[in-house]
Structure 1
């Protein structure tokens, strides 16, 4: 099995790819960076299982790939990459750049569906009062 660890060369390549994102990748990154989408943490051009993926949500073990036309010529290679990522425990969602830029909700809805219902993080006070609708926090029944 190929090396699953990150090498200095892969790290340099990931850094270069971060500075050379496609327009679709830039748009997606603007939508999800800084936990803007569903409070999920995404990384761009992230090393995973010895590969560099377009976007990674470690919490969901989810990889998002936004593909341009060149991928029409790389279907077998992409299938092998997807298989390797699945073996490492990741789900891969692959979309065409033009499908995403025409309708970004295609990708966002797929992420929501994959995430399923999520629990709210615990309130720092240890209380669940932050989950109650306004006006019910201090009321007694």
Structure 2
């Protein structure tokens, strides 16, 4: 029996890919220099082992960078963004439990180390505050 036939019998299902919204796919293709620079710094768990997703869909919105483990979103914005324009989006994402960090493109391009430091501190803070799935019993319990 050929190897290809055997593997198709054992594993008949093709691999499952995450569905990417057409809007997120376009944003991935047309990323800014600042987004590309930040992505190169955080991809492949380079920032203290935290995993980031780029242009990740949450509800009806697309977040630039998301660390689901820490529930942190990093937005790298150009001049098209403002607090008023993003208010409903921010409210929805915060209601979902995310912390949102916003940086201007110029901040990332001129001070990537400083931006990464702020993001890292927020990730560590969220990790510290996250309750353990298996908490230790308190004195007098158990």
Give TM-score, length-normalised by structure 2: 0.70
d(CA) in 1 for partners of 2:62, 2:88: 14
Q: Deviations over 1:76-122 (max 9, x none)?
A: 12122111100011000001000111101232111221122769xxx
1:54 is matched with which residue? Answer: 64
Q: Does the aligned pair in 1 maintain the 2:73–2:98 contact within 8 Å?
A: yes
Residue 30 of structure 1: how far off its partner (Å): 0.7
d(CA) in 1 for partners of 2:102, 2:90: 9
- 5 Å-filtered alignment, 1:5-84, equals 11-71=21-81, 74-84=82-92
Q: Which moved more, 1:93-102 or 1:104-113?
A: 104-113
Q: Does the aligned pair in 1 maintain the 2:78–2:105 contact within 8 Å?
A: yes
Q: Could you list the runs of 5+ residues in structure 2 that have no partner in the other structure?
A: 1-18, 129-142
How many aligned positions are there?
109
Q: Which moved more, 1:10-19 or 1:109-118?
A: 109-118
SS state of the match for residue 28, structure 2?
helix
Q: Does the aligned pair in 2 maintain the 1:56–1:63 contact within 8 Å?
A: yes
Q: Which has the larger radius of gyration?
A: 2
CA RMSD of aligned residues (A): 1.9
Residue 31 of structure 1: how far off its partner (Å): 0.7
Q: Deviations over 1:24-54 (max 9, x none)?
A: 0000011111111111110111001321011
SS state of the match for residue 50, structure 2?
coil
d(CA) in 1 for partners of 2:92, 2:113: 27
Give TM-score, length-normalised by structure 1: 0.71
